[in-house]
Structure 1
Amino acid sequence: METQLVSSVSSERRAEVIVDAASRLFLAPGLGRVSMDDLARELGMSKKTIYRHFPDKRSLLTAVLDRLFGEIERTMVVAAEESEGLSFDEQVQRFLHAACSELGRIGAAQRATGRGDAVLRRHVEQRMDAVVYRRLDELFGHGHRLGLLSAPPELLSEIIRGAAERLLNSTLPGKFDRSAADLLRMTVDTVLYGAIRGQEVES
C-alpha cells in the first residue's frame, strides 16, 4: 500500500522521490547491501511502482550515481570559477581542495556499486574521469605549457589519481585517525612541493 505522500505526487516527481530515497539508502555508510524490498519499505510503495520508473536496480543506481556526480561536478566547476585569475599553484590547490572535499561521496559511490556489477563500476570510473581526473589533466597541462612544472604533467596526474584510488580502499585513515581526504591532501602537498617552479623551499 502506497503512502499518501507517494500517491499524491506526479509521475515525474515520484521518480525524484524514488531517487532521493535510493540515494539515502544506497549511499549510506556501513549499511551493506540494500535490496529493492528495503527501498520499497522506505518509500511505502510497491516494488511494481518503483519498476514502473526504473526497470531494474542497475538503472536506479545509475540515476543515483549520475545525480551524485552532477553535484560533485558543480563543486569542481565552482572551484575552477573562483580560482580564475589566481596564480597557477593557487588554482591547483583550490582544485585539489575541492576534489578532496568530495572524496567521501566518491567513496560512497564506489561502495554502492559493490563488487558484483562491472557495468556500474565502469560507470563510476567514467564519471570520475570526466568530472575530476580529466579536469586535473587539463590543469596540469596548462601549467606545463606555461613552463611552471618541473615534472611531466602526466606523471603528476597519475600519482594523484593512484593516491586517491588507493586511499579510498586503505586502512591508513583509521590507522592515523585521519580521513582519506586529509591523507590525500598530505599526499598532494608532498607531491607538489617542489613540482611547481618558483616556490621557495624553506630551510
Structure 2
Amino acid sequence: METKSVSSVSEEDVRAELILDAASRLFLGPGRVSMDDLARDLGMAKKTIYRHFPGKHSLMTAVLDRQFGAIERTLAAAADEARDRPFGEQVRRFLVAAGAELERIGAAQLATGRGDAVLRRHVEQRIDTVVYQRLDAMFDDGHRRGLLSAPPRLLGEITRGAVERLLNSPLPRELDYTAADLLRTTVDTVLYGAISRPGNKIEVTS
C-alpha cells in the first residue's frame, strides 16, 4: 500500500509539471488561449487539469511563479559572475539580464493583465520583488560606498522607466534590436554618467 501511494503521488507530480509546461508555452505565447485549448493540446480532460489547478487564475499564478523563479536564479547567477567587477559593470549585467528575461516571458504584455486585473497585479508584484527591489538594493549599496553621484532613488526611477518603456516600445523591432540590447545602451548612456569617477564627483542632496 505504501509503495502504491508513493507511486501515485509521483505520477500526479509529473502530470502537474506537464500541465505547467504546456500552460507556459501556450499562455505566455501570442494571442488568447482558453482552458479548452490547453486541454486539447495536452490530450486530457479539463477536469483532470482542474484537479491540479482549481481555475485559470491558479494555473496562471503557478506558471508565473515558476517563470519568475527561473528569472530570479538567472539574475542571481549574473550577480555572482559580476561580483568582483566594477560597480557599474555589476549594475549593467544585472539590468541586461533582467531585460532579456522579462522580454523572454513577454512581461510587458503580461503586465497589462490581458484584461485581467488580478493577473496584472501579480505580475507587477513579482517584477517589483525579483527585479526592482534587488536593483534598489544595488543602488543603495553603491550610494553608501560613495560610488554614485546621483540619488539612488532617482536612478531607480530612471531605470524602471527605461525597462518598462523599452519592453512596451516598438523601437526594438524597428531598429532590429532586442529590448535587452537597447537597455544596455540606455544603461551605458544614463547610468555611467551617475557613477562617480576621480575628479568627476557631483554633490547632490537627496
Name the counterpart of 1:26: 27
Structure 1 stretches of 5 or more lacking a match?
Answer: 1-8
CA drift of 1:111 comes to 3.4
1:87 matched to 2:111: no
**Structure 1 residue ranges (4+ consecutive) displaced by more than 4 angstroms after TM superposition:** none
Amino acid at match of 1:86: R
User: Aligned partners of 1:162, 1:89: CA distance in 2, in Å?
Assistant: 19
- Whole-Å Cα distance in 1 between the matches of residues 65 and 56 of structure 2? 14
How many residue pairs match? The answer is 192
Superposed CA RMSD in Å reads 2.1
Normalised by the length of structure 2, the TM-score is 0.86
CA distance 1:64–1:199, change in 2 (3 Å): farther
Inter-partner Cα distance in structure 2 for 1:98 and 1:162: 16
Q: Deviations over 1:169-200 (max 9, x none)?
A: 11211222222221111111111132111179
Residue 182 of structure 1 corresponds to which residue in structure 2?
181
Deviation at 1:101, TM superposition (A): 2.4
Q: How has the CA–CA distance of structure 1 residues 159 and 42 changed in structure 2, closer, same or farther, with 3 Å as cutoff?
A: same
Taking structure 1 as reference, are residues 110 and 66 closer, same or farther at Cα in structure 2, changes over 3 Å only? Answer: farther
Q: 2: CA distance between counterparts of 1:135 and 1:65?
A: 19
CA contact (8 A) 2:148 2:196 kept: yes
Deviation by residue 1:111-150 (Cα, 9 ceiling, x = unmatched):
3864321111111111101111100000010000011111
Q: Give me the whole-angstrom Cα distance separating, in 2, the residues matched to 1:109 and 1:16.
A: 25
Partner of 1:6: none
Residue 125 of structure 2 is matched in structure 1 by: 126
* CA shift in 2, pair 1:22/1:200, >3 Å: farther
The equivalent of 1:4 in structure 2 is: none
Query: For residues 97-121 of structure 1, what are the alpha-carbon distances to aligned partners after superposition, in whole Å with 9 as ceiling and x for unaligned?
Result: 2212213234247438643211111
In percent, how many aligned pairs have the same letter? 71
- Partners of 2:135 and 2:82 in 1: CA distance: 14
Residues 1-203 of structure 1 aligned to structure 2 (within 5 Å): 10-28=11-29, 30=30, 32-108=31-107, 110-111=109-110, 114-198=113-197
Alpha carbons of 1:200 and 1:70: their partners in 2 closer, same or farther (altered >3 Å)?
farther
For residues 197 and 161 of structure 1, the distance between their equivalents in structure 2, rounded to whole angstroms, comes to: 21
Contact 2:111 2:120 (8 Å CA) reproduced? no
- What corresponds to 2:7 in structure 1? none
Instruction: Compute the TM-score of the two structures, normalised by the length of structure 1.
Output: 0.87
Q: Is the 8 A contact 1:65 1:109 kept in 2?
A: no
1:90 and 1:171 map into 2 onto residues whose CA distance is: 27
